[in-house]
Homo-oligomer: A and B are copies of this chain.
Amino acid sequence: MTNVTDQDRVLIFDTTLRDGEQSPGATMTHDEKLEIAELLDDMGVDIIEAGFPIASEGDFKAVSEIAQRSKNSRICGLARANFADIDRCWEAVKHAENNRIHTFIGTSPLHRAIPNLTMDEMADKIHETVSHARNLCENVQWSPMDATRTEWDYLCRVIEIAIKAGATTINIPDTVGYTAPVESADLIKRLIETVPGADDVVFATHCHNDLGMATANSLAAVAGGARQIECTINGLGERAGNTALEEVVMALRTRNDIMPWHTGIDTTKIMHISRRVATVSGFPVQFNKAIVGKNAFAHESGIHQDGMLKNRENFEIMRPEDIGLSGTSLPLGKHSGRAALRDKLETLGFEVGDNQLKDIFVRFKDLADRKKEVFDDDLIALMTLDEADDHLQLVSMKVTCGTGGQAESTVELEVEGLDKTATEHGDGPVDATFKAIRAIYPNTARLQLYQVHAVTEGTDAQATVSVRLEEDGMIATGQSANTDTVVASAKAYIHALNRLIVRREKAGPGADAREISYKDLT
C-alpha cells in the first residue's frame, strides 16, 4: 500500500495527529488519537504521522498503540537529529507492520548557528543520524527545515548525504506558509534534477496555509515531481493550518484531466472523519470551507450548477456522495425501530455491535421522545459522546435565570461515590453552574474555550457544547449534547474535568504535557 508502484501515485501522509494536534488548543486525548488513527487507516491514508514520541509519555504511548493497531497505513513518528529522539521514535513505531522514522534538522545559516555547527559538522550530523535511523528502520524520512533559506548548493549537498545515508523520503517543508505555486513546483523540480540519487527516493511537500495557498502549493509540488503530500483533516494545524487532506484529494480526483495523479483515499470517508476531527479538536469548520463546509454543496439555485456542469466532459463532477454526504437524509422519529437506527448509523459511518446498539437505542428513544424528528446530526452527536469517566457525575441540576438579577444554579454531583450539592450565583446560567461545580469540586482549571453549536435546525435542536480547560499546561476538552443548552454546558464541563483528573492521575502533575517541542532546536 505504501510503496510507490507507479509514477502517477501520490502518497498521502497525514499529520493531523502530530502537526495538527499541536495547534494551540487542539490537543486530543489518547482515546481520541486512537479513534482518528483508525479512521485515517480505514480511509486509505498511506502514512500516518502519529506523534513525536520523545515529547512526552503520552505521545510515546499514543504512537506505540497506533502502531500496534494499524492495519493498512504505515505509522510514522517524528524525531529530531539525535540518537535519543530516533531511538525513542523507533521504540514506538516498531510495533507497526509498516513503520517509518521521520527525522529533521534546520539547515539554514540561522539553524546552523544555534547549535554552533559549521556546514561540515552539520553534514556529518545528518549522515550519522539518518544512518542510525536507517539501521533501525528500513523506511526513513528526512526533512531539511527552513529549506528555502538554505544556500542552494548546501541544500543539494545535505539532501544527497541524507539519501546516501539511507533516507527513503525527502520532505521539503514550507514551514512558514509563504511559498507560491510556481516557486513550490520549481524548487522540487530543480532538486530532483540536481541531487544525485534523487530518482531513488520519494520527494514530499509539506505546506502551511498562511497565505491561503497550501492546496495549490502542494499540487504544484506534485507537478514538480513530489509524490507525497503532507496534510491534515480540515487543514487543522498551527496558525492558518496545514494543507487540507480533503482539498488535495478531491482536487486530484476532480481535475485528473490536468493533474494526472491519483491517491489511495476512499473519498466517501471524508465527511465522517472531518466531523470527528472538528469535534475532538474543538476547531469548527466554517460554512464556506472547501469540500467539507456546511455550504460546500449548497446552491441557492440547484438549476445553476446543474446547468454549469451538465455535459461537462472534461472533468469529474464533485457530488455530495463522493465525500460521504448522504444526499437524501430522512429523519428518524419516535416510531423508528432498531433496524432503522442501525441502517442510518451505518450510512453515517458508524459500525455498532449489538450491545452498543442496545445502549444507543435507549438514548435515541429518549431523544426521540423530546424531539419530533431526529436528524443525522443529532445521531452523530449522540454517537460521539464518550462514556462518562467516572470521577464526577451529574446527578441533577436546577437553574433559574433571566433579567431580574444574577442567575442561580443548584448542582448535585456524585464525586467518587458521594453525593454533593452546591448552589451558586453568577453572570448567567452557565457561569452560575460552572461556579457550583467548582464549589463542589475545587480546581484551578482555566476555561479556554466555551462553544455552543445547535446541531440541527429548529428550536428543539440539540445543542453540542465544547468546553476546553487548561491546568498547569495540561489541556482537556469535553463535549456534550442535549436539548437543554445549560445541561449540555454542565455535562461538557464535567466531561472536561474528568479528563483532566485522569491525565493528572495517570502521569503526575504536568507529566502528560509535552516536555519537549519539536521546535526546540537540537
Contacts and interface: CB of A to CB of B under 8 A. Distances in A.
A333 B255 CA distance: 55
Residue among A217, A247, A314, A446 having the largest count of chain B Cβ atoms under 10 Å: A247
A180 B219 contact: yes
State the copy count for this chain.
Answer: 2
B403 A402 contact: no
A244 B286 contact: no
Contacts of A396: 402-404
Residue among A183, A435, A449, A458 having the largest count of chain B Cβ atoms under 10 Å: A458
B239 A426 contact: no
Interface string A484-495: 111100000000
Contacts of A254: 178, 211
A399 interface: yes
Interface string A394-407: 11111111111001
A210 B447 contact: no
A312 B297 CA distance: 41
Interface residues of A, number: 121
B428 A401 contact: no
B487 A459 contact: no
A87 interface: no
A392 to B, nearest CB: 15
Given A181-B220, A403-B394, A299 B239 contact: yes
Contact of A212 (B182, B210, B290): B290
Interface in A99-117: 110-111, 114
Contact of A216 (B213, B286, B314, B487): B213
B457 A454 contact: no
A240 B291 contact: yes
